[in-house]
Structure 1
């Protein structure tokens, strides 16, 4: 399970890096002038504007957003399974960081938290929390994976099985 979580995290990290190239973490209000006709002229935050542009105008942007989201959901669900398998010390930390990172991701995009009391926090703050939670989650996963590998060395068959299961689950979601 630890291997699958590492691979999911790598997908989240790579897709997040791609999305960060086009994302603007700014709460300043702008008028939307992108490709989606019904929203033209509607005032929105620059963060939400850049999120819409990633989805509609960047080549492969919507696919990357969906892959990032699906991998994140799978990472959290896999962490719950990991906790049920008895890896409580690392799993609870990873679960908390995964939930915090997901919540901060929605806050950074000015999407689902907009209009709530959490939406009053500045968007750059949410973006920073999202990045810090991702780095901390990576550290927890790598540390636990190294300790797990010391007890049970990895074989080529296990790595291939883990990669195959991860790919299947990400694209199945």
Structure 2
């Protein structure tokens, strides 16, 4: 069971990585104030950071952009919840690292968006710093997951059926949430 949850964490991370790559192409990590000129009429002309403007443009103007943002968020939340379950099922050696780095990644993602942390003491940090922290923490989470998965696979090798089951369960859980 622990190995299945660990595999699902790897696939959740792959989805987070792929969706994050898509989002990065449309994201502008800048705190410069700009006027919104996108599709959403009630906000047109409202001053906001370039980072938040790019996220709104991604959500409203890019085909499938909002769906990708939601998939990125859902997979990220599932990654944190799955890590807690993974820790409860066995050794805590890597789970605490993944959980801590996952929470740091989530916090820095909100900071990079200039969304929920705006107006707080944490909102005073520059947006490019949040974005860099978000990318570094995400890569660290991936490294810890891969190292742990390889060690568990060495003890109990994976089969094709096991891999197919873990991929199917990951997709099912992500779209069920």
TM-score normalised by structure 1 residue count? 0.99
Cα-to-partner distance string for 1:52-85 (whole Å, 9 max, x where unaligned):
0000001110010000000000000000001101
Partner SS for 2:48:
strand
C-alpha deviation, 1:86, in angstroms: 1.8
Aligned: 1:165 with 2:164: no
| Unaligned ranges ≥5, structure 2 | none
Q: Distance in 1 between matches of 2:148 and 2:173?
A: 22
Offset at 1:6? 0.2
Which one of 83, 89, 104 corresponds to residue 100 of structure 1? 104
Q: Aligned residue for 2:77? A: 73
Q: Which runs of 4+ in 1 moved over 3 A?
A: none
Kindly indicate whether residue 19 of structure 2 is the aligned counterpart of residue 15 of structure 1: yes
- For the aligned residue pairs, the C-alpha RMSD in angstroms reads 0.5
Match of 1:50 in 2: 54
Q: Deviations over 1:84-129 (max 9, x none)?
A: 0123010000000110000000000001000111000000000000
Question: How far off its partner does 1:157 sit?
Answer: 1.2
Look up the SS of the partner of 2:93 in the other structure: helix
The number of residue pairs the alignment matches comes to 173
Moved more, 131-140 or 79-88: 79-88
Structure 1 distance, partners of 2:172, 2:108, is: 27
Q: Which residue of 2 aligns with 1:139?
A: 143
* Residue number in structure 2 paired with 1:120: 124
Question: What secondary structure, in the 3-state scheme, does the structure 1 residue paired with 2:166 have?
Answer: helix
Q: CA deviation at 1:150?
A: 0.2
Separation in 2 of the partners of 1:87 and 1:78? 14
Which residue matches 1:29?
33
